[in-house]
């Protein structure tokens, strides 16, 4: 089956509960095969957006297309859900079943060919590291193990789109690392991953595109590299005499950090020009270091800007 | 059919969580005790002379009706306890999120729950009633006139209260829904008695109250149908001599349940199940 160019597209998607706006006009598009980070503080509307995309909640305004199926066309959306995996933030599975049985129930719900169930279940258990405990009842699992099981459930049937809602909230550092590896493997085989998280380092490590939401609104959306553009460069130079400061100032705002000079507001493509100009004026360049803004810096500054 | 996946899950939960086992053991204990009770009936003396066969059967039929009333009550309680947290429990603990994100419609989900619960109700009601009737037959040689019809009425009674509890479960927590369903079950039972009293005193208003409760929740009407199937002709003849007042006796039925009422019950179950599906459509897990 040929995949649509966009795995998810939303247009002014909104959800209100009485007077409370849970999501206000979400507009975004996620290309097929992308690992997309959906970021925001608690209560920003992230889980609401995921629930709307899965048809678990009904939008009060706007429209969205998931794997080309519009939310408003329930039958088409239902068919599309065969190819969607979902790990809810609140991950709970039938505690009186074993992990293997939970996975088999989901194979049945997806409508996978019964002949492939054993292999599908084995794959999922191996991927999330639950092979040894596959026959134990879920009720005896730790929270982390239940979240691993949830991830296994989401991966069943090789879905085209996987929505992970805070997938590492109950995991230890090893578990978090494992989840990142799973996400990378999914991306490697062309699966679109929608990662809902407030763990910025996690998003920074695996996502190519991100949207930042707050108070039910998207405040920034785009490729991570664009969002985190290097907006400063640190240089260590000697030999710039008269007029040196003026020269540097023409490239951006200056700040001295010991032997270093920081030039702020300089785009990456002008860095070679800056170096060239310094050398032309007789300056000696020992080091040039573009300074990357972290996602956390960017996230906090965006939230501040959004709500002065 | 994804509804059957859900139905199987409900049945498996009943088996895994030892609900069926607990009910089975308790039921077998009750059947054992009542079997012993039935076996004592022929030993009763009346002024030194043993009871006639007709007297034994008459007493056995009365005792059987009382025993079966207890069974139907246990069935109603069990059906409510199992059905009332079915949907609300899944929503509250989060299991509904993983299930409903699959390609399954709300109607299939609620319908699947109903099918699974209906199977549990039918197996328990049919099994327990059949064993009890078999034991009574073995001990005192008494078989009620319409055993199959009786079993069908008891199953229908269980289905009605279960369907109501499932409807409540789409909106209310298990405990609240369960309490409401049981209170309504009690009101319907009392309503049947009140209607009988109205008939006895020829009071149209009170009779209508009885009829209305019978229609709003048809469990008591079904119980009367079940009782009628257990009554030998001799008992009906004796009871009918009491006139319309006998209708107030919850352990007696003067007439078979009319076909229209039976059809009404089928329609009632379909309507309430439809309401449950409609109600759950708007619920967000």
- Enumerate residue ranges in chain A where pLDDT < 50: 308
Q: Do B94 and A88 touch (CB under 8 A)?
A: yes
Q: Sorting pLDDT into bands at 50, 70 and 90, what band is B53?
A: confident
Question: What is the predicted pLDDT for the residue at A293?
Answer: 67
Provide the sign of the torsion angle of the four alpha carbons A164, A168, A170, A175, taken in this order: positive
A74 reaches B (C-beta below 8 A) = yes
For residue A230, give Cα distances in angstroms to A65, A212, A304: 34, 19, 20
A184 reaches B (C-beta below 8 A) = no
Q: Do B105 and A78 touch (CB under 8 A)?
A: yes
Angle between helices B53-83 and B147-169 (to 10 degrees): 20
Q: Sorting pLDDT into bands at 50, 70 and 90, what band is B237?
A: confident
Strand partners, A101: none
Q: How many C-alpha atoms does A193 have within 13 Å on its Cβ side?
A: 30
Mutate to test the interface with A, among B3, B101, B108, B113 (most CBs of A within 10 A): B101
Q: Which of A76, A75, A67, A72 is nearest to A3 (CA)?
A: A67
The beta-carbon neighbor of B95 closest among A56, A93, A111 is: A93
Mean pLDDT of B49-55: 81
Residue B41 predicted with pLDDT over 90 = no
For residue B169, give Cα distances in angstroms to B89, B116, B162: 8, 15, 10
A170 reaches B (C-beta below 8 A) = no
Q: Sorting pLDDT into bands at 50, 70 and 90, what band is B156?
A: very high
Residue B3 predicted with pLDDT over 80 = yes
Is A69 in a helix, a strand, or coil? Answer: strand
Question: What is the predicted pLDDT for the residue at B179?
Answer: 96
CB contacts of A150 in chain B (<8 Å) are 98
B15 reaches A (C-beta below 8 A) = no
Q: How far is A294 from chain B (nearest CA, A)?
A: 34
Please give the Cα distance from B211 to B194 (Å, whole number).
9
The beta-carbon neighbor of A94 closest among B95, B105, B282 is: B95
B17 reaches A (C-beta below 8 A) = yes
Question: What is the predicted pLDDT for the residue at A308?
Answer: 40
Q: Do B5 and A74 touch (CB under 8 A)?
A: no
Whether ipTM tops 0.90, in short, is no
Q: CA Rg, chain B, in Å? A: 21
Rounded to the nearest integer, the mean pLDDT of chain B is 89
Q: How far is A16 from chain B (nearest CA, A)?
A: 13
Nearest chain B residue to A77 by CA distance is B103
pTM: 0.86
């Amino acid at each position: 089956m040929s995949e649509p160019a966009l795995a998810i597209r939303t247009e002014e998607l909104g959800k209100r509960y009485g007077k409370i706006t849970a999501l206000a006009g979400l507009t975004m598009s996620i290309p097929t095969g992308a690992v997309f980070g959906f970021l925001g503080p608690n209560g920003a509307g992230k889980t609401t957006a995921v629930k709307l995309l899965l048809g678990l909640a009904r939008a009060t305004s706007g429209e969205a297309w998931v794997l080309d199926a519009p939310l408003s066309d329930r039958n088409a959306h239902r068919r599309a859900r065969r190819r969607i995996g979902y790990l809810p933030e609140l991950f709970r599975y039938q505690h009186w079943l074993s992990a293997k049985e939970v996975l088999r129930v989901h194979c049945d719900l997806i409508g996978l060919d019964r002949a492939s169930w054993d292999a599908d279940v084995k794959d999922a258990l191996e991927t999330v590291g639950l092979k040894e405990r596959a026959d134990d009842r879920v009720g005896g699992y730790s929270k982390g193990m239940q979240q691993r099981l949830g991830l296994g459930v989401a991966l069943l049937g090789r879905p085209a789109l996987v929505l992970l809602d805070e997938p590492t909230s109950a995991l230890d550092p090893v578990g978090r690392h494992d989840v990142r590896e799973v996400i990378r493997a999914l991306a490697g085989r062309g699966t679109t991953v929608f990662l809902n998280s407030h763990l910025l380092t996690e998003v920074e490590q695996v996502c190519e595109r991100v949207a930042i939401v707050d108070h039910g609104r998207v405040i920034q959306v785009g490729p991570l590299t664009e969002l985190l553009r290097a907006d400063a460069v640190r240089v260590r130079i000697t030999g710039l005499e008269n007029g040196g400061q003026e020269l540097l100032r023409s490239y951006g705002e200056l700040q001295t950090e010991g032997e270093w000079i920081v030039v702020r507001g300089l785009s990456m493509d002008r860095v070679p020009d800056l170096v060239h100009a310094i050398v032309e004026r007789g300056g000696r360049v020992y080091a040039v270091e573009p300074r990357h803004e972290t996602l956390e810096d960017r996230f906090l500054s965006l939230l501040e800007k959004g709500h002065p | 059919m994804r509804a059957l996946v859900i139905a199987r899950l409900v049945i498996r939960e009943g088996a895994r969580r030892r609900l069926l086992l607990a009910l089975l053991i308790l039921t077998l204990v009750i059947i054992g005790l009542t079997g012993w009770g039935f076996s004592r009936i022929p030993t009763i003396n009346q002024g030194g002379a043993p009871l006639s066969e007709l007297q034994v059967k008459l007493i056995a039929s009365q005792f059987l009706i009382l025993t079966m009333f207890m069974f139907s009550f246990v069935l109603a309680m069990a059906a409510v306890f199992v059905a009332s947290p079915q949907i609300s429990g899944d929503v509250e603990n989060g299991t509904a999120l993983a299930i409903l994100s699959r390609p399954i419609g709300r109607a299939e989900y609620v319908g699947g729950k109903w099918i699974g619960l209906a199977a549990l109700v039918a197996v328990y009601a049919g099994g327990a009633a059949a064993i009890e009737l078999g034991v009574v037959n073995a001990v005192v040689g008494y078989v009620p006139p319409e055993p199959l019809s009786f079993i069908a009425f008891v199953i229908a009674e269980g289905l009605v209260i279960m369907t109501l509890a499932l409807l409540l479960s789409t909106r209310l927590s298990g405990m609240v829904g369960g309490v409401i369903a049981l209170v309504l079950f009690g009101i319907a039972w009392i309503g049947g008695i009140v209607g009988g009293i109205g008939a006895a005193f020829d009071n149209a208003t009170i009779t209508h109250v009885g009829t209305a409760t019978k229609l709003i929740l048809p469990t008591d009407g079904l119980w009367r149908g079940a009782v009628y199937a257990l009554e030998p002709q001799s008992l009906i003849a004796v009871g009918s001599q009491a006139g319309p007042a006998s209708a107030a006796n919850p352990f007696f039925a003067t007439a078979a349940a009319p076909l229209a009422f039976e059809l009404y019950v089928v329609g009632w179950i379909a309507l309430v199940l439809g309401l449950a599906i409609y109600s759950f459509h708007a619920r967000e897990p």
